Amino acid sequence: MSGQQRVAILTGGSGGLVPGIAQALADAGFAIVLTARGEERLQDAVRRLSETVDVPVTAIASDARDLASAQKLADEVIDRFGRIDVLVNAAASSTPIGGAIEEVDVDALIADADVKVGGYLRYTQAVLPAMKRAGRGHIINIGGLTGRSSDTLSGLRNAAVSHLTKVLSDQLAPFGITVNAVHPGIVLTPHLEELFAEIAKERGVAVSVVEEEFRKDIPTGKFLSVAQVGRSVAHLADAPDAALTGQSLTVDGGYSRGIYL
């Protein structure tokens, strides 16, 4: 099938921030292709999204660690839809790596970066032929604020995402392809709620106490929703031209205190 409807691929499509991003892109009129390794969770995500949108929603399993798998995904999307307009890179492991340097598992750290940074690059390589043929495209890389702090060593993957984004934007701008990064702040997801519960249990306090400790450092006084992150991504994906590219957009309710010129 091919047509005029724009198509967006979202990696890491079975959970995290992706449902909110997919909803926003669907609301903007994009056909949605969700991809991740786990077929069952992926199908669940497609089923949930399909209940709320009026655009095609498709699941295609792929592995961020394997270029051939990413290329197979891109080929299948082209076969089905005839085009690829947007790539949202969001595949990542959810286990932070940190602690004392003497105890860090370096192999685990490298594997963690390979899924996110290496995976983002592989999926980008896979969609580039279609985007270059079309003379347009938008690539949005989901990073994270840990890349701007020393709280956890695995934040290096998010610092690398910003660097990769800038390199790609320089190379791809002549082809009408934009590349930007979105760094979400504290987003209320099931994973974050589980983390709050674990911290509260360890400390012997109510979950509300832990939540308030995190919330008080956000100027808006509110955690972000996945929908808010999704709308920011959709803004980049829906841009009519390539004027906005090579940027790292922080969506955090003012949580970041640094000034980045």
Domain with CATH 3.40.50.720 in the chain: 7-187+225-247
Q: Quick one: fold of 7-187+225-247? A: Rossmann fold (3.40.50)
Average pLDDT for the chain? 92
Whether the CB-CB separation of 88 and 11 falls below 8 Å is answered with yes
Beta partners for residue 9, in sequence order: 33, 87
The burial of 188, by beta-carbon neighbours within 10 Å (0-12 exposed, 13-18 middle, 19 or more buried), is given as middle
| Beta strand 86-89 pairing with 7-11 | parallel
CA atoms of 240 and 238, how far apart (whole Å)? 6
> Per residue in 106-143, pLDDT tens?
888 888 899 999 999 999 999 999 999 999 999 999 99
Per-residue pLDDT at 4:
84
Residue 187 tokens, joined: 């987003």
Residues 6+ apart with CB under 8 A from 88: 8, 9, 10, 11, 18, 21, 25, 140, 142, 233, 237
Residue 261: what pLDDT? 61
Q: For 144-157, how does the pLDDT look when each residue is reduced to its tens digit (9 = 90+)?
A: 887 777 777 778 89
pLDDT in tens, the chain (261 residues): 556 899 999 999 988 899 999 999 999 999 999 999 988 999 999 999 999 999 999 999 999 999 999 999 999 999 999 999 999 999 987 777 778 888 888 888 888 899 999 999 999 999 999 999 999 999 999 998 877 777 777 788 999 999 999 999 999 999 999 999 999 988 988 888 998 999 999 999 999 999 999 999 899 999 999 999 999 999 999 998 889 999 999 988 888 877 766
Confidence at residue 122, expressed as pLDDT on a 0 to 100 scale:
98
> Distance of CA 18 to CAs 15, 59, 177, 238, 245, Å?
6, 13, 22, 17, 21
Tell if the pTM clears 0.95, that is, is over it. no
Longest Cα–Cα distance in the chain: 58
Q: Mention every residue, 6+ apart, whose C-beta is less than 8 A from residue 129.
A: 74
